[in-house]
Structure 1
Amino acid sequence: MDAVEPVSKIILEDSDSNLKDKSEEDLNLSKIETVIEADFAVIPPPDEGYAWVIMIACLFNLLLAFGSFNAFGVFQTYYLEVLFVDESANYIAWISTVCGVFTFVGGLAATPIVRKVGLKYSSLIGTLICVIGLLLASFSSQVWQLIITQGLLFGFGSSIIINVSLTVPALWFDKYRALAYGIVASGGGFGGIILIPIVNKVISASNIHWAFRTLCFVYLAMTGVGGMLLRPRSSYTPSEGTLDFKLLKNPVTIALCFIGFFMQIGFNIVAMYFPTSLVLIGKTPDQATNYLMVFCACTGSSRAITGYLTKYFKPTSILFVCHVLSGIFFMSMWYTSDKFSVLISFFVLIGFVCIPYMTLGPVIASENFSKEDLSQVNAITYIAMGISVLISLPSVGAIFETYGKRTNFSALIVIASISYFISALFVIYLRFSEKK
């Protein structure tokens, strides 16, 4: 008969076995936690450190991508008065029209490019395309050549840079996202202040061909550095496909598109035609250019300020108030007066209230869509603005020439005012769409 094993021995052995199993389980959990902590240690925290480098890099990009487009008004004047005096104004206008359209519409190509080569190299590809466009433009002597080089190539390259630069801040910022977007978007206004004097001085000292080459070198240096500094905070892969049609059905996307479409009509009118109204009341073209720089400074400051104001007010509330005020200022100041004091006051005020969408649109998109969809949403809203440019610039030009006889701005002012009021209605639609 086998001896009966003591109960205490059995209990002790079971206890040792449980303790051993438990210690092994704790050890495995500890290893898993260590790996997870290591992974999180690799991912920088948002709103800190390199996030601010990203913001500066994106600011550099938009200073040139949007700022160069603002400086093209100087080129347009040179085409009309010196280079292409025998060509029609409507034909010459296609240079800026094509550039504007591709600057907005071409961003849709950024998503598949980013998926293939990443954010940094996508931005650098945009820089390369822009530099090639500007360099070829410096050797162009025909309008059709400039439509391809300064218009299509430069506009398309800029669109890639803009799309990437409006996507990356959402990956790095959380608490200060709106502020970061405001500072980045301000580059579109301040870029004109930097580039317009440079282009003017080079044209005066040499010719337009060297103005293009100078702009080319500046563009390469600034967006090259900006592109090299870009990187995602963690792994980032945009959504599949060039265009997700589900995003087109989203009411927030629809609202953002219509706001941008109508806002762009009003903005184009004041940016393109108001300096001419100053010339007609006795100011010189050089003075009108200087006042355009003041306008650029106001729009740049506005983009930064509206980003800061989101700490206290909803983006849709800021957008609604600014667009309603824009419509009111058009009719109460520009429409009713030809006094310089009133007109310049209008130009300053409208500069502050006409452009917050360029800051708040990406902020609203980042709050309502995943980071993977953000690039496509930004591209879709910019397509709406590109279509607006394509439709409005030739149409407004024809109205000004036919009904305004190149001297009366009343019809254009009414169109601009109505456009901003309609965009304000879509802001209300956006507010209810966000709640849903």
Structure 2
Amino acid sequence: MAVTTSTTTAVELSPLPPLANSSGHNRFHNEVANDSQNPSSEDILEASRLADSAVPDGGYGWVVLGGCAVIAWWFVGTGYSWGVMQGALVEKGLSTPATLSYVGSLATAIIAFLAIVNARIIRAIGAQKTGMLGILILGISEILSGFTINSLPGLFITSGVTLGVGLSLCFMAASATPAQYFSKKRGLANGIVFAAGGLGGAIISLSMDALIRRLGTAWAYRILGLVTLLTGLPAAWLVRERSPVKNAGFIEWRLFRDLEFVIIFATGAVATFPLLVPAFFIPLYARSIGLSSSTGAGLLAGFNLSSAAGRILCGFLCDKIGSLNALSISLLINAITMLALWPASTTLAPLIAFVVLNGAANGGFFSTIPTVVGNVFGSQRVSVAMAMVVTGWGGGYLMGSPIAGYLLDAYGGSESGFQAYRPAITYAGCMGLGAAGLATFVRFRKNRTILAKV
């Protein structure tokens, strides 16, 4: 009989002699069957190499990349423009920055909480339907938010939970599909997709600020939802998988026996605590140093534009110097700018410098992580491994910005000047430095040569 593993190799076994112990005979056949259904990590990596050797590095992949980029425009841009809406809601007296930051954090945290479930969904219905479902929920949640702007519980449901479900489905469709079409240009492909998200954040931030000032927060939300549906649904329809993976497992627990996976998992878990702090608090911080709300929205737009540039640059660096090198560099710059530059930004010029540098490093994290996972663990299980890694981001996404908000309240609140922000900034910077240390550790564990492409 022939037993075939997940690779193309078949192993011929000679006929078995009769066994006196039939239970032992059955146990042997069960073990063989289990081995064929649960290939080893080496088998999966070999299958990934074989699959990657046939990757077109282009072709219809560019169409898929365009569709994923539009999806990323909305799910990244919407999450990263929450600071504008948060500032408007604080100004109208709905609640405090700490409480309102929970709304934006909850939406983003659901990306992590549902990552493994969504990996199952994308395997069941495909990337196209997953993306279209995500955009549909995203647009509807924004339209519904227009009717709940005077209710904090209502915003938690519409702009928190419902929006988060849409974001999470869109994230999985946009992050798992490009790896099937690109191998040598995988880092650049991921960079382009997530750069579109940064660009979306910039445009949405400026547009939302203008709409809020002209039409009010309710209509700003409704218009955002309608435009999301009109542009996002056709883009999601273009996203097709090249070779759907049929593995039915929710979690590949044996990955936790791999120290590299554990450290990468921990890196993401720590890094997400500070990542949303600048995006959520830049508009409020700008007001604390005497700048207008429109200037704050402009700074947030600049942050998102820099994030877009950083995503492309780090995606390019992944292909040139290695994904782990690019990840370590982006996290280190993110930490240094928060610890050294943001506390010194008491006027517009240094704050612009912080926005540009931190935004670029911040965006680099999101474009390098999918490439790191795909390169280290293989494209054949990138959706499962990526889902597991993203699940670890839940705590940081949910609590990272609210912790900064509580520190701000504890030291006087948003009306007490820029000094009140210093403890929150220090907390974010230290968490960023810890993440950079973890990424650097796994990089040098893999290869101790300083100039090696890792």
1:425 counterpart (437, 440, 447): 437
> Structure 2 vs 1, CA of residues 264 and 325 (structure 1 numbering), >3 Å: closer, same or farther?
same
Q: Name whichever of 323-332 and 94-103 sits farther off.
A: 323-332
The one-letter amino acid of 1:46's match is P
1:188 maps to 197
Task: Report how far residue 370 of structure 1 moved.
Answer: 3.5
- Tell me the distance in 2 between the aligned counterparts of 1:163 and 1:338: 39
2:227 counterpart (218, 224, 230): 218
Q: Name whichever of 397-406 and 86-95 sits farther off.
A: 86-95
- Pairwise mapping of residues 31-430 of structure 1 onto structure 2 (< 5 A)? 46-82=56-92, 85=93, 87-140=95-148, 141-234=150-243, 236-336=244-344, 338-403=346-411, 405-406=413-414, 407=417, 408-430=420-442
Q: Name which one, 1 or 2, has greater alpha-carbon Rg.
A: 1
> Structure 2 vs 1, CA of residues 337 and 136 (structure 1 numbering), >3 Å: closer, same or farther?
closer
Task: Report how far residue 393 of structure 1 moved.
Answer: 2.3
Check conservation: 1:64, 1:222, Cα contact below 8 A. no
Check conservation: 2:146, 2:217, Cα contact below 8 A. yes
Task: Report how far residue 319 of structure 1 moved.
Answer: 2.1
The one-letter amino acid of 2:88's match is Y
Deviations 1:379-420 (A, max 9, x none): 222222221122222222111111354432221222222222
Determine helix, strand or coil for the equivalent of 2:57: coil
Check conservation: 2:83, 2:279, Cα contact below 8 A. no
Deviations 1:127-182 (A, max 9, x none): 22223322322222421111111111111111111112111011011111111011
Check conservation: 2:287, 2:293, Cα contact below 8 A. yes
> Structure 2 vs 1, CA of residues 403 and 160 (structure 1 numbering), >3 Å: closer, same or farther?
same
The one-letter amino acid of 1:262's match is V
- Tell me the distance in 1 between the aligned counterparts of 2:446 and 2:118: 26
> Structure 2 vs 1, CA of residues 305 and 268 (structure 1 numbering), >3 Å: closer, same or farther?
same
- Tell me the distance in 2 between the aligned counterparts of 1:86 and 1:388: 25
Determine helix, strand or coil for the equivalent of 2:176: helix
Which portions of structure 1, spanning 4 or more consecutive aligned residues, are displaced by more than 4 angstroms? 432-436
What do you get for the CA RMSD once the two structures are aligned? 2.3
- Tell me the distance in 2 between the aligned counterparts of 1:90 and 1:114: 34
Q: TM-score, normalised by structure 2?
A: 0.80
The one-letter amino acid of 1:151's match is G
- Tell me the distance in 2 between the aligned counterparts of 1:337 and 1:116: 49
- Tell me the distance in 2 between the aligned counterparts of 1:251 and 1:101: 25
The one-letter amino acid of 1:391's match is M
Q: Unaligned stretches of 5+ in structure 1?
A: 1-42
Task: Report how far residue 365 of structure 1 moved.
Answer: 0.6
Deviations 1:193-218 (A, max 9, x none): 22123323333332322222211122
- Tell me the distance in 1 between the aligned counterparts of 2:138 and 2:336: 38
Identity %: 23
Check conservation: 2:111, 2:164, Cα contact below 8 A. yes
Determine helix, strand or coil for the equivalent of 1:415: helix
> Structure 2 vs 1, CA of residues 211 and 273 (structure 1 numbering), >3 Å: closer, same or farther?
closer
The one-letter amino acid of 2:259's match is P
The aligned length equals: 392
Determine helix, strand or coil for the equivalent of 1:282: coil
> Structure 2 vs 1, CA of residues 80 and 278 (structure 1 numbering), >3 Å: closer, same or farther?
closer
Task: Report how far residue 232 of structure 1 moved.
Answer: 1.4
Task: Report how far residue 433 of structure 1 moved.
Answer: 5.5
- Tell me the distance in 2 between the aligned counterparts of 1:352 and 1:103: 22
> Structure 2 vs 1, CA of residues 405 and 112 (structure 1 numbering), >3 Å: closer, same or farther?
closer
